[in-house]
Amino acid sequence: MGPGFGVRLVVTDLDHTLIENPSQIPAAGEALRRLADRGLVTVLASSKTFAEMEDLQRQAGLPPQPFIFENGGGIGWPLGQGPLGQGPLSQWPAQTAGEAAGAPALVQGAYGAIAAAGDLTKLGAILAELASGGGFRFRRFDELPLETISTLTGLDPRLAALARQRLTSLPLLWDDSSEQLARMRQALAGRGLAAVSGGRFVHVGPPCDKATALTRVRQWLGGQAALGGMLACGDSDNDRGLLEAADIALVFSCGQRPPLPLSRPCTVVPAGGPGPWLAAVEAALESSQGGATA
Ligand SMILES: [Mg+2]
């Protein structure tokens, strides 16, 4: 690979990495445009829903570009381009059964959602069966009143409504014991489903991760974004795959808990948000270029 790993692609998590709160979205857009001016492709990868991500890309003033939603459960792609351009999705490489459906699972604004996996109707039926048969106590996030979601997440009602629009996974508000959660995990695993704890919610859906979704995005982008080096930014366990796979890894840590441990060299950035994020990315790009020519 060329000097400085030839970084062509920057992939980043959102919460506690690129942004600390929604008011920082316009500044995040500015930071991403700065990198685009340098010829870099940027991809946002988040646990947020397709609807939230489409809204965010628009609020940030970004031109249409692919993104990863629901922790890799799906990919948002600009309509009329790449896999959502001419011809069916199945002409594109490495499709899954869900992708091969040939049409986006949802269209919003300039984007179509390509769901890698997940059938929410089926998932809902399994959860209902476990609630009645297994006696598990939980509430589905997508069935909570908007005021409850706002109280639990700090999102305003408009954003809470976007967060409720699930496509591939369902967060549950867990009202039961940790022993019951272990039993629930086993029951779900027997049905090919995973339950991942994150804050106050347990996310249930088909096993997926951001790194697998990014591999697909790179194949579909082709060219330099597929072949060049990659810089990844993240803060949590759900970013681990991306960080481990990158040529340069930036781990963001707000200081309240120790930085995510990785089995590879990385740079720890002591604060998230667009300012610290851009400074850290630009410093990493420069030092990797300097290191390669020294
Ligand atoms: Mg995060």
DSSP track, 76-105: EEETTSGGGSSS-GGGSTT--TTGGG-S-S
* Calpha distance 166→95 (Å, rounded): 21
Which residues are CB-neighbours of 164 under 8 A, at least 6 positions away? Answer: 49, 141, 142, 144, 146, 149
Q: What do you get for the CA distance between the two ends of the chain, in Å?
A: 16
Confidence of residue 89 (pLDDT cuts 50, 70, 90): low
Share of the chain above pLDDT 90, in %: 71
| pLDDT attached to residue 255 | 74
Whole-number Å distance, alpha carbon 225 to ligand 1 midpoint, is 23
* Backbone torsions φ then ψ of 109, nearest 5 degrees: 55, -130
In 72-83, which positions are buried (b, 16+ CB within 10 angstroms) versus exposed (e)? bbbbbbbeebbb
> What does the pLDDT look like over 9-38, one tens digit per residue?
999 999 999 999 999 999 999 999 999 999
On whether the CB atoms of residues 19 and 273 are closer than 8 A, the answer is: yes
* Ligand 1 centroid – CA 208 distance (Å): 16
In terms of C-beta density within 10 A (0-12 exposed, 13-18 middle, 19 or more buried), how is residue 263 classed? exposed
Instruction: Name the band, by pLDDT with cuts 50, 70 and 90, for residue 277.
Output: very high
233 alpha carbon – ligand 1 mean position (Å): 9
**How far does the centroid of ligand 1 lie from the alpha carbon of residue 178, in Å?**
24
Quickly state the pLDDT bin for 4 (edges 50, 70, 90). Answer: low
Q: What are the structure tokens assigned to 174, written together?
A: 């867990």
Beginning with the edge strand found earlier in the chain, give each strand of the sheet holding 248-252 in spatial order.
106-108, 111-115, 74-78, 67-69, 41-45, 7-12, 229-234, 248-252, 267-269
Q: Which domains does the chain have, with CATH numbers?
A: 3-117+209-293 (3.40.50.1000), 120-205 (3.30.980.20)
Do the beta carbons of residue 50 and residue 113 sit within 8 Å? yes
Reading the block at residue 175, the tokens are 């009202």
Would you place residue 105 in the very low, low, confident or very high pLDDT band (cuts 50, 70, 90)? confident
Report pLDDT for 93: 54
> Measured between alpha carbons, how far is residue 263 from residues 185, 244, 245, 266 in Å?
27, 7, 11, 9
Q: Which residues contact 144 (CB under 8 A, 6 or more apart)?
A: 152, 164, 173
The answer, yes or no, to whether residue 294 has pLDDT greater than 50, is no
Rounded to the nearest whole angstrom, what is the distance from the C-alpha of residue 95 to the centroid of ligand 1? Answer: 27
How many angstroms does the Cα of residue 241 sit away from the middle of ligand 1? 13
Measure 162 CA to ligand 1 centroid, in angstroms. 18
Highest mean pLDDT among 83-97, 260-274, 280-294: 260-274
Q: Ligand 1 centre from 14 Cα, in Å? A: 6
Ligand 1 center to residue 205 CA distance, Å?
A: 19
